[in-house]
Structures are given as C-alpha cells and as structure tokens.
Amino acid sequence: MKKRLPSLSSYGSGWSANRRIAIVASAVAVLLAVAGIVALLTGGGNGHQAPGTTAPTPSGSPSSSEAAPKPSSGSGSVSQPPQIAEPVAYAKAAAQMLWSYDTRDTSRDQQLAGMRAWMTTETKYADWASVSDQVPDPVLWSRMADQDQHATASVTEGHYPSAFKQALADDPSAITEAYIYVVTVNGTQQIAWKKGGGGAEERAVTLAVQCRPNHDCTLAAIAPSVTQ
C-alpha cells in the first residue's frame, strides 16, 4: 500500500505540553475545576484510534511553529470554510476538510494555506501546530503526488463528548469566556492512487471549535486524543 496522508486519528503529538496547557487554561478557564473536561482536553479521556492507524513519525515533518504558506495560486482542492454558526455542524465540515486532499492538483503549501483559512484569528486560542502537523513533510507529500494520491471523506455523525456536556451542565456560564466547544466527529475516508489502488478507513477526531455569538464558527485546535 502506498504511503498516504496520516490519519487525523493518529495525531498523538498534535499539542505540545505547554501549548496544550495554554489552550486549556485560556479557552475554558472556569472548567478547569471539572475533572472530566480537564481529562478531555489533555488527552486523558477514553480516546481511541481508528483501526489500522499509527502515529506518523516521518523525519523532517513540519515543526510545531511552521507557518501556513499563502501561495498566489490559492488553496488548490481544499474546501473553503462554510458560514456556519453551530459548533457540531462546523466541526463536521472541518473534519471532512481535514480528511480530504488531492495531490494531483494541490501542493503541500496550498494544502496548508487552505487549512489555515479555517482557523480562528484569535491567536490566544488558536493551536495551528495541532492542525499543520497533520500534513506530511515535503518529501512524503512529493512521493504521494508521484502516485496521484487523493482522498475524499464522508461524515457519519458529530457530537459533544459526554465529559464536555457534563462540564457545561455543571457550569453553563463557563463557555462564555472563549466560546470554545469540544466536538467529536466520526466518518470514513476513501483513499485512491494510480492504477486503481485505493481503500477506505474509518476516521474519528475531536476538535476544538470556536463559535462566538453572532459570528461564524472557526477551528481552534485538534485534540490530542479522540474522546467519545
């Protein structure tokens, strides 16, 4: 099987320890008193990986501080962020975007630029590293392009994890600091390459989505583990 874009369910190093602490502390400061939400956002919840996936460890992978290029040729096949003000609906759209790519007409820089367009512009809450780390290093992307590798995705459902719902129930006003919602999305990724090669794999991801009142939602981060 040809090498392919790493699954979002295998993002074990998505958040560095310091960055993870900063996201938790600033986005849901009041919720820190709730054990369930702390476990959820620090990867201590009941997470799982999609079958047959492993954490990507290619040498030369993008660093956590890698900036998103803004190529003049646009974002290739990466879809534009929708104008959605509901957290679960936006998370489902974001997951479908993250699980889709087409090396036949999209460069690595375009892929990163397209993904960056979905991110919140509030740097206090944005963890770009957790998103950009999902894209393979330039050498691997080039090899994928040599094989015309591409993927589409379908989303089956999205929901608020139980720990997050319990935290909100315990203190409904806590969300009003940053309006960061935690959403888990499940779906399927269909992968194809030259000479009829391909296959499908189940995917799952937990996202931090920012949805301030009277504003469209944006993506804040990818959590370090999937929590149902």
Distance in angstroms (rounded) separating the CA atoms of residues 9 and 1: 19
Secondary structure (DSSP) of 79-135 = PPPP----HHHHHHHHHHHHT-EETTT--HHHHHHHHHTTB-S-TTT--HHHHHTTS
CA–CA distance from 83 to each of 146, 160, 164, 214, 218 (Å)?
A: 35, 20, 24, 11, 9
CB 40 within 8 A of CB 180: no
- In the structure encoding, which two tokens stand for residue 78, read together? 């990466």
In single-letter form, the type of residue at position 143 comes to R
Half-sphere exposure of residue 168: CA atoms within 13 angstroms, side-chain side: 14
Residue 87 pLDDT: 97
Residue 224 pLDDT: 84
Q: Which residues contact 167 (CB under 8 A, 6 or more apart)?
A: 28, 31, 34, 36, 37, 40, 174
- In the structure encoding, which two tokens stand for residue 82, read together? 């929708």
pLDDT below 70 — which residues of the chain? 1-73, 75
Helix axes of 87-98 and 108-116: crossing angle, nearest 10 degrees: 180
Residue 43 pLDDT: 45
Which residue is listed with tokens 């104008």? 83
Residue 173 pLDDT: 86
